[in-house]
Amino acid sequence: MEIPYTVKPRPDTGLYNAKVGIWLFLASEVMLFGAFFSSYILLRVGAPDGFWPDVATAWPHGLLNIPIGTFNTAVLIISSVTVLLAWASLKEGNLPKFKKFMAATILCALGFLAIKSYEYNEKFTHYVIRLKDGTAVTGHLDIDGKSPRFWSLATVEAKKLESIKVHVDVPNQFRYPVGFKHETHEEAEAKTGGHGGGHGEREIKTADIALLQAFIPKTGTFFAIYFTMTFLHGLHVLGGAIVMAYIAFVGDGMWKTDPERYTNRIEVAGLFWHFVDLVWIFLFPVVYLL
Amino acid sequence: MSDHTHSGAAEAHEHGHDHAGHNKIYFVIGAALLVGTIVTVLARYWEFNSVALTVAVALFIASIKAFLVAGYFMHLLSEKKMIYLVLATTAAFLVGMVGLILWSDADQPRGSTQKIHYVP
Amino acid sequence: MEFFSKLLFLHEVASSHGKGLDELLIYVHLLMASLFVGWLAFFVIAVFKHRRSVNPKADYVGARSHFSTYAEIGVAAIEGLLLLGFAVPLWAKSVDKFPEEKDATVIQIMGQQFAWNAHYAGPDGKWGKQDVKFASSTNPFGLDSGDAGAKDDITCLREKFLIPVGKEVICKISSMDVIHCFKLPRMRVTQDAIPGMSIPVHFKPTKVGDYTITCAQLCGNLHSTMRGEFKVVEQAEFDKWFAEKAKAGGGGGFE
Amino acid sequence: MHTATTHAQAHGHGHEHAHEHHEPGFWAKYIFSTDHKMIGIQYGITSLAFLFFGFLLMLAMRQQLANPGQPVPFVGKLLEKTLGADAASGGVMQGDLYNAFGAMHGTIMVFLAIVPLAFGAFGNYVTPLQIGAPDMAFPRLNMASYHLYFWGGVVMLVSFFIPGGAAKSGWTSYSPLATLADMDRAINGQTMWLIGMVLLITSSLLGAVNFIATIIQLRAKGMTWMRLPFFVWAQFVTAFLLLLAFPPLEAAGLMQLADNVLKTSFFLPTGLVTSGGPVPVSGGGSPLLWQHLFWFLAHPEVYVLILPAMGIVSEVIANNTRKPLWGYKSMVYAALGIGFLAFIVWAHHMYLTGMGTKISTFFQTTTMMISIPSVIILTALFISLWGGSIRFNTPMLFALAFLPMFGIGGLTGLPLGFNASDIYLHDSYYVIGHFHYVVAPGTIFGLFAGVYFWYPKATGRFMSEFWGKVHFFGSLVCMNLIFAPMFVQGLRGMSRRMYDGGATYFGNGVDPGVLWLNKFITHAALGLLIFQLPFIWNFFSSLFVGKKVESDNPWQATTLDWQTPTPPPHGNFATEPVVYRGPYEYSVPGAAKDFIPQGQKS
Ligand code: HEA
Ligand code: HEA
Ligand code: CUA
Ligand SMILES: [Cu+2]
């Protein structure tokens, strides 16, 4: 006996097996991301009021690059459309057209990941520096023209640097949660001791530094959940791209032997892909905008 | 909304599947999603001065976008009963989980909601 | 009640609200016992009567009575009764109906791997300033020794502390490292000690004597040795101890 | 119609032919099999081994409990040699080792023994057979599930031998302890535990998807929902519990992993201070968040442990009373009710974390509500006995014993379910007694019943009745001697998870008079071990010397699993089965025999 309904729908449910399978899988994914979102809410609601210099416990906000995030959102949306067009091409029986759209989809996926990596790198080279007098600055280090990643105070001390050059952000990049009063330019300048004005450069003595930390997961619960959720989402993008590339360009022999099943595969892969898009639709406003 | 128009629409939908012209709807929805994204971003710069309102607006737009993706891209508007059952169950438990966790966090006995232990 | 509480091996109760709690325990166990006995009797009879050797031919329908439905409804009803009549009010009393702080002995309790610490505001009734930057394993409450309000605060670090009998006690329970659980079996008090939170419980001891604090939450390798002690004494004795401690302790008695 | 049959037959024939020609090699047949029956057997063997291993861990712990501060009899020296003097100096278990064994006992029993045995093994082997399917819907996914499970188990086992030893924060792994316990080691037991759990969870999720899709899609012709054997219903609900409850724990596991490895603070609040000074993390997290996400899985998980056992017990009872299950429909609805309510009772494990009246009233109400469907299922099974013609073979004995044993376990859940009485009983041995009654003489007995019951189908031979009965009576007595005294200890205020068995708390003149029971329980546990030996012997020797079955349906059962060849070949059924009636048509008045198989036309 062969396994029935791998291609044709079962009469009473109207579904073929893989479609039931993918929807069940997506149901579990809903719970997975749902748990992360509820963690996000709980951590955020429970976060102590965030004021300098308690960088670590504050809920920093407005640190992500919104134009880039918006662009990336568009990339994902477009890829969702192209994967649909690819599927529709198969339904028309047009394999070359299908492949073109699949290639576009996978390019979008890779583009998304590339942009995300750029953003990650941007965070890994972005620092919060708290001075012993209580003031704090954020900015990029400038060590002989390079912008190093993942440094800490220990790194600076180990390298025996007397002082470090910092391109500080003015006003500094931490913003208070929405609804709070935002710092004005002047206040920020006053806080950084009158330095700056535009993207100021500052020489900071190692001896003055109380804390130096890149924007990495352990810097605070915001970063922790931002990196965890976007990383997990990125893994989904990567996984989806690999599977789709495999189906479209390696496993396309099935188109000849079993076109219906092949089309179903694309439909199922597409469903997964839309779901990844769907997660991002919530993730984007939650971490970038709110 | 009579039954009649409804079934007519469903038929047209079935019919449209084989035609490439049906792809148009994907473009329309795709465009709507892009617009939605831009509106969300713009809304953010619009200082509502209320956390609740900001969050509500952002999530409202996101929900509409989610509806479009799920409904049209994932064809949920014309899915089979079994899928609806699975998703309804999931949605119920999701709401239960998030809701009850947040409720538990909010309903604590007097004085215990202090965030930092060393304050008496 | 006395009889049943012996039957259930319950530890002798030593607080005023504990009585109600024991009653609930007893009623639940009576319900359980009667269900168990009833069902077991049915089970034994059914199995015995319908063994193959006496009943070679099975009956397609089996039992025809609706008794089981009534039994199920009955179970549900009794559970509902215990719920509304006992559990909910008892709980509400213990977490909502707090006595006024001025009428009670107020103690901060801090769990620490692997010991219990207590902190009283002292005769002035004012808590000294506390901040986490002062906290350490020898200053679990993070008291600021320079603060005037802290001068007369009493801290009992890893040692026995006292509470007066017949008066409400409010304990604000917290922890500085991992989750512990402040459990006073004979007072019928249990509350997790959770870092980052300070959760109040209250009870009124009714019997003088020595009592133990059990840590009822796994908290590390020496969890089983995290024993605390306190003593319930007459008010006069408590006052004496309190005054002495406040004088000697000055600033909380740090080591 | 006629042609269809011949086609199917010809097809089946062709298959057999192909098999003769190139018999798959060892790896393809035993390790990378995609046949649900082989995968079921793989799950079965692996999980029984873990069950035994979990038991041995507990025996070592019990020995320590019975001899506080003394070297562990029998194995103390061995522990010292294999795990190092830090863990067991002079053969005395140190706190860390005891905690590690306790955490791993819980983890192994729940995630590596019972679930894989009940769901992975029985579910895989029996479900497709009972619904008349040739295999699972996604055979390769099925294989992947097993392999993920296997490697998850390997990771857990390896963790015993890494520096610092295995995870030691209880199977509940509460933060902050789980993060602080071994903070200075980059890769510690907890890290391994989390990695292992992620593998196990992924395995369970794939399995759940597969089961649900199979039951929805691959039911044979005529197998309507209300003709499904109760066992299949139980597996169906179980799969849903796993599908929707596990992902939050996966999320929580990833976050705790980040806490441990990347030093984030998802579950670590601000201001932690240990004896080593302030803990160098940012803080701002919530320890209760972990508990919520953990129990959101772990409560449904306990029904994952019990429902398949109830399913097995139902099959065995219907078969051996020779009459239909009484109230089959109400049982199905009750199982669905359990499945639904299981998701909204979890915080009854957290009453004492500081809950307000409203929320705790909600949770205790749902807790009381969920006891009702259990009562309904149990009652239906009891009443099913009435009017039967009961055969007392070994599977039936285990199934019968399951009922009162689960009854005790379930009933003792009630005082825990009322928040006010839980104040006294929380984290005491009463809890240990409660849940062991449900999982040990409850679930394990159900699973034993299943092993004895389906063994002839899988191997073509019976297990020995004599040794089966020795195993049964010995286990029944010992289980009760082990777990009943725990209620007494708990009611007397003795706490769980103490490596000295409570000696420190109760030694100093306040001995409540229950410490001697520690020794007693330990002896009973040793007795239990002895009575498992006949089972192990029986299990392996019957492969070769067991009485051969004479027909494909040796128990004269009605469900489709017994209408396959013995053992069932690849593809299961010689001809496509068609179902004409409900699952338990025993002793139908006027019928020639006392059973009518589901696939028999009339
Ligand atoms: C299979 C496993 C299983 C099952 C089925 C149950 C079933 C139930 N459990 Fe249990 N429970 C656990 C496994 C299980 N539990 C575990 C593992 C823990 C501890 C976890 C840890 O902390 O490590 C725990 C802990 C636990 C607690 C937390 C205790 C604490 O930590 O303080 C609570 C509290 O409400 C509880 C309640 C219940 C209830 C109300 C049921 C109900 O569903 C029970 C309903 C059943 C009945 C009411 C019985 C009906 C039968 C009859 C009426 C017939 C009886 C008569 C005869 C047979 C003669 N359980
Ligand atoms: C499904 C779950 C399960 C099962 C079955 C068991 C089974 C047993 N458990 Fe376990 N236990 C837990 C889950 C389970 N436990 C959990 C979750 C905890 C809490 C952990 C924590 O604190 O974090 C716990 C804790 C726990 C404690 C408390 C420890 C403490 O708090 O300090 C004790 C104490 O006695 C105990 C004892 C036992 C005993 C004697 C058995 C016996 O019933 C074991 C019986 C075993 C068998 C009968 C094996 C039969 C198998 C074979 C014979 C194999 C044959 C093999 C082949 C044929 C190949 N357990
Ligand atoms: Cu503190 Cu256990
Ligand atoms: Cu539970």
3-state secondary structure D103-170: HHHHHHHHHHHHHHHHHHHHHHHHHHHHHCCCCCCCHHHHHHHHHHHHHHHHHHHHHHHCCCCECCCC
Number of helices (H), then strands (E), belonging to chain D: the values are 22, 2
The residue to which tokens 């259990």 are assigned: D374
Residues D458 and D562: their CA atoms lie apart, in Å, by 11
Domain ranges of chain C: 2-96, 101-247
- Structure-model confidence comparison of residues B53 and C107, the more confident one: C107
Q: How far is CA B87 from CA A20, B82, B84, D248, D339, in A?
A: 11, 9, 5, 17, 15
Which tens digit of pLDDT belongs to each residue from D350-400? 999 988 889 999 999 999 999 999 999 999 999 999 999 999 999 999 999
Which tens digit of pLDDT belongs to each residue from D423-436? 999 999 999 999 99
Q: What is the ipTM of this complex?
A: 0.93
CA-based nearest residue to C100, from C187, C169, C188: C169
Domain ranges of chain D: 43-269+282-563
Ligand 1 atom nearest residue D403's Cα:
58
Q: In this structure, which residue's CA is closest to atom 16 in ligand 2?
A: D106
Q: Domain D43-269+282-563's class?
A: mainly alpha
CA-based nearest residue to D132, from D40, D218, D15, D7: D218
Q: C183 CB under 6 A from ligand 3? A: no
- Least confident span in A156-170, C41-55, D165-179: A156-170
- Judging contacts by C-beta atoms under 8 Å, the chain A residues touching residue D216 are 13, 15, 20
For D376, left (φ over 0), alpha (ψ -120 to 50), or beta?
alpha
Helix axes A66-92, B23-45, angle to 10 degrees: 170
Which tens digit of pLDDT belongs to each residue from D465-491? 999 999 999 999 999 999 999 999 999
- Across the interface, of B109, B115, B120, the residue whose CB is closest to C199 is B109
Residue A228 has pLDDT above 60, yes or no: yes
- Around ion ligand 4, residues with a beta carbon closer than 5 Å are D 299
pLDDT band at D6 (very low <50, low <70, confident <90, very high): very low
Q: Hey, of C60, C61, C82, C226, which one would you mutate to test binding to chain D, going by the most D CBs within 10 A of its CB?
A: C60
**Mean predicted lDDT score pLDDT of chain D:** 91
Contact at 8 Å (CB) between D360 and B118? Answer: no
What is the pLDDT at residue B15? 40
What is the pLDDT at residue A221? 84
Tokens of D4: 């269809």
Which tens digit of pLDDT belongs to each residue from D387-406? 999 999 999 999 999 999 99
Q: Does D407 touch chain C (CB under 8 A)?
A: yes
What is the pLDDT at residue C98? 85
- Structure-model confidence comparison of residues D16 and D547, the more confident one: D547
Residues D415 and D425: their CA atoms lie apart, in Å, by 8
Annotate chain A with DSSP letters as a single string.
-PPTTSSSPPTTT---HHHHHHHHHHHHHHHHHHHHHHHHHHHHHHSPP--TT-TTTS--BS-S-HHHHHHHHHHHHHHHHHHHHHHHHHHHT-HHHHHHHHHHHHHHHHHHHHHHHHHHHHHHTEEEEEETTS-EEEEEEEBTTB--SS-BHHHHHHTT-SEEEEEE-SS-S-BPPTTSPPPPHHHHHHHTTT--SSS-EEEEEGGGEEEEEES-GGG-HHHHHHHHHHHHHHHHHHHHHHHHHIIIIIGGGHHHH-HHHHHHHHHHHHHHHHHHHHHHHHHIIIIII-
The alpha carbon of residue D102 and the mean position of all alpha carbons in its chain are separated, in whole angstroms, by: 17
Tokens of A14: 């109207």
Torsion (CA) A225, A229, A232, A235 in degrees, nearest 10 = -120
Residues C150 and C159: their CA atoms lie apart, in Å, by 19
Contact at 8 Å (CB) between D100 and D165? Answer: yes
Nearest chain B Cα distance for residue C77, angstroms = 26
pLDDT band at D20 (very low <50, low <70, confident <90, very high): very low
Which tens digit of pLDDT belongs to each residue from A98-124? 999 999 999 999 999 999 999 999 999
Residue D125 has pLDDT above 90, yes or no: yes
Contact at 8 Å (CB) between A217 and A60? Answer: no
The residue to which tokens 């990339």 are assigned: A75
What is the pLDDT at residue D508? 58
Nearest chain C Cα distance for residue D415, angstroms = 6
Residue A197 has pLDDT above 70, yes or no: no
SS3 C52: coil
Cβ-defined contact of D354 to C224 (cutoff 8 Å):
no
Half-sphere exposure of A257 (CA within 13 A, CB side): 4
For A179, left (φ over 0), alpha (ψ -120 to 50), or beta?
left
Tokens of D493: 């205020």
What is the pLDDT at residue D442? 94
Helix axes D429-438, D287-321, angle to 10 degrees: 40
Task: Measure D294 CA to ligand 1 centroid, in angstroms.
Answer: 17
- Judging contacts by C-beta atoms under 8 Å, the chain B residues touching residue C189 are none
Pocket of ligand 2 (CB under 6 A): D 48-49, 51-52, 55, 58, 62, 102-103, 105-106, 109-110, 114, 170-172, 305, 432, 436, 439-440, 444, 482, 496-497, 525, 528, 532, 535-536, 539
Residues across chain A: 290
Q: Which fold has domain A17-122+219-289?
A: Four Helix Bundle (Hemerythrin (Met), subunit A) (1.20.120)
Residue A181 has pLDDT above 50, yes or no: no
**Which amino acid is it at D8?**
A
Cβ-defined contact of D354 to B108 (cutoff 8 Å):
yes
CB under 8 Å to B109, separation ≥6 — which residues?
C95, C96, C199, C200, D354, D355, D356
Angle at C160 between CA C157 and CA C163, to 5 degrees: 110
What is the pLDDT at residue C2? 80
For residue A177, the tally of other CB atoms under 10 A from its CB is 17
Residue B116 has pLDDT above 60, yes or no: no
The CATH number assigned to the domain with range C101-247 reads 2.60.40.420
Contact at 8 Å (CB) between A138 and A126? Answer: yes
Cβ-defined contact of D292 to B104 (cutoff 8 Å):
yes
- Judging contacts by C-beta atoms under 8 Å, the chain C residues touching residue B108 are 197, 199
Q: What is the mean pLDDT of residues B80-90?
A: 94
pLDDT band at A51 (very low <50, low <70, confident <90, very high): very low
